[in-house]
Amino acid sequence: MLNAHLLRGGGVALLLAVAACGQGEGAAPADASAAPAAATTVRDPVTQTPTAPAAGAQTAASRHAPPAPARDQIAAARSPELTRCLESGDAANGVSAAMGRCFNAELRRQDGCLNAAYRTAMAALDAAGQARLRTEERAWIRRRDAGCAEAATGGSIDQVEIPGCLLDETIRRRLVLEAIAG
């Protein structure tokens, strides 16, 4: 969570972050209950690879983690400010640096939303669940950062691709945390 220190100022900052985390214009809220019924294969919370649990076994992830959000849910969760930014000035003309600034501004907004969702999810769990979620969150941060860094080509497109990757992964995680919090 990139900007956790921004939310340490108290409840007002947290409340503002939650209020700013609404869905994109015209988007339906992410609904974990609309996801398909749980199959026999679950995703490992650290590697996100499919794993088949032993008969009757229940992993930490399967106890409280909802299915991963779909790409359209992630796109719908982006703020209208991102669209406006990308459709104006140099960003609208395809200038990588300008587009990167748009994605970075949205990443800061979404990181605040992620922090708020994490705090809400933590409050909804018992001590053991909080410990599991804390471990999962730290592993997720490492996976997100490493995975997005792998996309780097060394060119100017990295100014768009890397923040775009971080943004999508941050939104994906926020939606998962919101579903955990219920």
pLDDT tens-digit map of 26-70: 343 333 333 333 333 334 444 444 433 333 333 344 445 566 778
What are the φ and ψ backbone dihedral angles of 142, each rounded to 5 degrees? -65, -45
* Confidence check: pLDDT of 140 > 80: yes
CA separation for the pair 75, 38 (Å, rounded): 24
CB burial readout 136-155, b (16+ within 10 A) else e: bbeebeeebeeebeeeeeee
* Confidence check: pLDDT of 174 > 50: yes
* Closest to 133 in 3D by CA, of 103, 177, 95: 177
Please give the C-alpha separations between residue 78 and each of 37, 173, 179, in angstroms, as whole numbers.
26, 13, 17
CATH class for the domain made up of 78-182: mainly alpha
* Confidence check: pLDDT of 19 > 60: no
| Average pLDDT estimate for 131-160 | 95
| Average pLDDT estimate for 134-161 | 95
Q: What is the model's pLDDT at position 67? A: 66
Rounded to an integer, what is the distance from CA 143 to the centroid of its chain? 12
Greater confidence, 38 or 169?
169
CA separation for the pair 40, 17 (Å, rounded): 36
* Confidence check: pLDDT of 128 > 90: yes
Q: What is the model's pLDDT at position 181? A: 85
What are the φ and ψ backbone dihedral angles of 9, each rounded to 5 degrees? -70, -10
Domain ranges of the chain: 78-182
**Model's pTM, two decimal places?**
0.67
CA separation for the pair 109, 97 (Å, rounded): 19
Q: What is the model's pLDDT at position 12? A: 30
Please give the C-alpha separations between residue 11 and each of 8, 62, 65, 135, 137, in angstroms, as whole numbers.
8, 31, 26, 25, 22
Q: Where are the alpha helices (DSSP H) in 40-157?
A: 60-64, 71-77, 80-86, 89-92, 96-123, 127-150
